[in-house]
Amino acid sequence: MSLSKRFGRTVALAGLTMTVPRGEVFGFLGPNGAGKTTSVKLLLGLLKPSSGEGWLLGRPIGDLETRRRIGYLPELFRYQGWLSAQEVLALHCELAPLPRSSWSDEISTALDTVGLTDRAKDRVSTFSKGMQQRLGLAAALLGEPELVFLDEPTSALDPVGRHDVREIIRGLASRGTAVFLNSHLLSEVEQICDRVAVVDHGRVIASGTMDELLSGSAVKVRVEGLDDAAKSKLSTFGDMDDEGDQLTFTRLKAERVPELVSAMVELGGRVYEVAPRHQTLEDRFLQLLEAEEK
């Protein structure tokens, strides 16, 4: 635990401490450069930590035997363009290593799951980026791994593909596979993850189940006529996300909403819309990052 990683003078990860339970879909969130991919590479043993230690499926990270039980779709996905999709998967079956008798079934099931059955014999060099990402996902699913790392698994996919990936992740979770999901797409994470951790500047700044993290409610107000001085007076009502005419207040109880509207009117604001709602992961994510900046 408390993994850290430096690249020269750059601190990529400064004391990462977290636990990912088996059989859950774990969302790992953070802004660009927060250390998400570095964390995954450390856990897979592709990078060596500068300090600290970690455990994966009960074994120290980097353990060769553990890798038999893991699937991985890298953020930078690339497969041998001179091989066919089927051959790439056969290569991964061989390296996994899976019993040769199971390859045929494993490959056809994986190709079917990601929707590439009709392109099985085509060379990967003829694939679009989205298809290559699907192929990478198929490779990660081979051999029914106990833990699957998916680093931005939908970055090259269209909306249908994203939907398919959500279904695949749900399918993995239903059969007891733990999924470690790195994603920028907060709505996606919100839909499928049981538990999330938010990382920034190489540190986990919040973690917990989705319910624990999104316990508060939020109120979105469309209001005109408020200057910065007036807006700053409203900060007593809770954490405020200022997007010009749209102000979003988190950690604000519903019974205080009339009081908030009165205060806005007194400060000269013209209120057009007040929409109380449950806090979204995006609200919470932005709130956490802003708090971290302060």
Residues 177-196 that bind another protein (CB under 8 A): none
Q: Is 57 left (phi over 0), alpha (psi -120 to 50) or beta?
A: left
Residues 95-114 that bind another protein (CB under 8 A): 95-97
Minimum CB–partner distance for residue 158 and another protein (Å)? 22
Beta bridge partners of 180: 26, 149
Residues 18-57 that bind another protein (CB under 8 A): 41, 44, 46-48
Q: Would you call 254 exposed, middle or buried from its count of C-beta atoms within 10 A (0-12, 13-18, 19+)?
A: exposed
Taking CB under 8 A as the rule, does residue 160 contact another protein?
no
Beta bridge partners of 217: 278
Counting every residue, how long is the chain?
294
DSSP-derived secondary structure for 154-220: TTT--HHHHHHHHHHHHHHHHTT-EEEEE-S-HHHHHHH-SEEEEEETTEEEEEEEHHHHT-SEEEE
Q: Rounded CA gap, 139 and 110, in Å?
A: 7
Judged by CB under 8 A, which of 28, 72, 180, 285 binds another protein?
72
Judged by CB under 8 A, which of 21, 58, 78, 229 binds another protein?
78
Judged by CB under 8 A, which of 91, 156, 205, 230 binds another protein?
91
Taking CB under 8 A as the rule, does residue 197 contact another protein?
no
Q: Count interface residues toward another protein (CB under 8 A).
A: 31
List the alpha helices (DSSP H) in the chain: 36-44, 85-95, 100-114, 129-141, 159-174, 186-192, 210-213, 228-234, 257-266, 281-293
Taking CB under 8 A as the rule, does residue 80 contact another protein?
yes
Of 13-21, 67-75, 197-205, 267-275: span binding another protein (CB under 8 A): 67-75
Taking CB under 8 A as the rule, does residue 284 contact another protein?
no
Minimum CB–partner distance for residue 86 and another protein (Å)? 14
Residue given tokens 């009960």 in the structure block = 58
Main-chain dihedrals φ then ψ at residue 20, nearest 5 degrees:
-110, 110
Judged by CB under 8 A, which of 89, 139, 199, 221 binds another protein?
139
Minimum CB–partner distance for residue 87 and another protein (Å)? 9
Of 86-94, 107-115, 159-167, 255-263: span binding another protein (CB under 8 A): 86-94
Residues 200-229 that bind another protein (CB under 8 A): none
If you ran DSSP here, which 8-state letter would residue 270 be given?
Answer: E
Q: Rounded CA gap, 190 and 282, in Å?
A: 9
Minimum CB–partner distance for residue 154 and another protein (Å)? 17
Minimum CB–partner distance for residue 66 and another protein (Å)? 8
Taking CB under 8 A as the rule, does residue 74 contact another protein?
yes
Residues 243-262 that bind another protein (CB under 8 A): none
H or E element that contains 250: strand 246-250
Judged by CB under 8 A, which of 79, 127, 180, 285 binds another protein?
79
Judged by CB under 8 A, which of 3, 73, 114, 168 binds another protein?
73
For residue 273, what are the CA distances in angstroms to 146, 227, 257? Answer: 48, 18, 12
Binding site for another protein (CB under 8 A): 7, 41, 44, 46-48, 64-65, 67-68, 70, 72-74, 76-80, 82-83, 91-92, 94-97, 136, 139-140, 149
